[in-house]
Amino acid sequence: MNENLNNLDRRLEAESQRTVARLVAALPDEAPSMVWRSELNEALLGLTAKRNARRRFLLIARPALALAAMSAFALVMFVRPGRVEPVTGRIQPAATSTLEASLISLHQDDVRTMDVAGVGLDPNEPVAETASTASSGPDDSEADLEL
């Protein structure tokens, strides 16, 4: 161990090593200038300010957005619009959204219905249950006799 250390010392004291050491010592000291340092600090301060402002904004915006999303969800799921009263016996397509158009459409539907019904059951008739079905099956009479 001592022998290795002595070898290492001798090699470090060699002329070539001393030459390199002198060269390195002679290199100029490249410490940043104060002006540069000052500009850097100012730039960093600006970035920090922006980051902080953004953090403050997100601190408020994220919970607000979450609240808005939850409120919209709750509105859709739990708040019922005014009761929609369908015309009994038919579904109104969007194109007949006015009273006038609906009357025309209803007449047309009645004509088409009779093409199917012929001499049989007219689906516009009240669907009160007959005696044979009164005790079985759902009671449709109220919904349809509302006509």
Partner 1 sequence: MSRSLALLGSLVALVCLVGSAGAQRRDSDFDRSWVQSPLVPPVLKNAIRRGGHARYVGRRTVEFWRSPKDLKHEEIVTRDGNRSRVEFPDGSRFAGRIYVENGHERREYHPETNEIWVLPARHEESEMRLAHLADRGAEGKVVFTTAPGIRVAGYPTDQVVVSDSHGNIVQRLYIEPNSGVLLRREVFDPGGAKIGMFEFTEIDLDPPAFDPSLFRFDRRDARLVTPYDRLRELANQEHFPALALPPASGFRLDEVRVARIQGERVLVESYSSHQGKLSLFELKTDLDSDRLRQFARGTELHAYSWRVGAGTLVLVGSQDSNFLERLASAVVGTR
> Given the rule CB under 8 A, which residues bind partner 1?
85-93, 97-104, 106-134, 137, 140, 147
Q: Which is nearer to partner 1, 1 or 84 (CB)?
A: 84
- Measured from the CB of residue 143, what is the shortest distance to partner 1 in angstroms? 9
Assess contact for 116 and 124: CB atoms under 8 A. no
- Measured from the CB of residue 142, what is the shortest distance to partner 1 in angstroms? 14
Q: How far apart are CA 124 and CA 127, in angstroms?
A: 8
Tokens of 6: 């002595």
- Measured from the CB of residue 81, what is the shortest distance to partner 1 in angstroms? 13
Q: Which is nearer to partner 1, 59 or 147 (CB)?
A: 147
Tokens of 37: 């340092």
Q: Which is nearer to partner 1, 30 or 85 (CB)?
A: 85
Tokens of 115: 């093409």
- Measured from the CB of residue 76, what is the shortest distance to partner 1 in angstroms? 22
Q: Which is nearer to partner 1, 61 or 116 (CB)?
A: 116
Residue 118 φ/ψ region, left for φ over 0, alpha for ψ in the -120 to 50 degree band, beta for the rest = left
User: Within the chain, what is the greatest distance between any pair of CA atoms?
Assistant: 125
